[in-house]
Amino acid sequence: MALKIKLQRAGATHEPVYRVVVAEARGRRDGRFVEKLGTYLPKQKDAGKQLELDVERAEYWMSVGAKPTETSVSLIKRARKEAEASA
């Protein structure tokens, strides 16, 4: 079973909410997932509340073989920078 770290869309029309999840690579975009890693709110004005991601769990899943999508990679990098800035 190949796993991917990808975004799952939720929310209303013109008000997207994305969940960052670990799911089977061949599964549907909004289908079942193994674990929820965080949320991404692209329309949120406050940058601090826009991305909420468990970086440690994302790194764990990548170490076990889960491959992140391009968007997930950029969100993980951004979450790392935010975590370093706050620490």
Contact status, residue 60 vs residue 42, Cβ threshold 8 Å: no
Mean pLDDT of 52-62: 95
Q: How far apart are CA 25 and CA 17, in angstroms?
A: 21
Q: Which tens digit of pLDDT belongs to each residue from 38-49?
A: 999 999 998 888
pLDDT higher than threshold 80 for residue 87: no
Q: Which two tokens stand for residue 7?
A: 């975004």
Structure confidence at residue 85 (pLDDT): 85
For the chain, what are the domain ranges? 3-86
pLDDT (average), residues 53-67: 95
2 vs 55: CA distance, rounded Å: 20
* pLDDT of 31 over the 90 cut: no
Supply the pTM of this predicted model: 0.90
Q: Which fold has domain 3-86?
A: S16 Ribosomal Protein; Chain: A; (3.30.1320)
Backbone dihedral angles phi then psi of residue 19, each to the nearest 5 degrees: -100, 135
Q: What is the C-alpha to C-alpha distance for residues 43 and 81, in angstroms, rounded to an integer?
A: 20
Whole-angstrom distance, CA of residue 45 vs CA of residue 83: 19
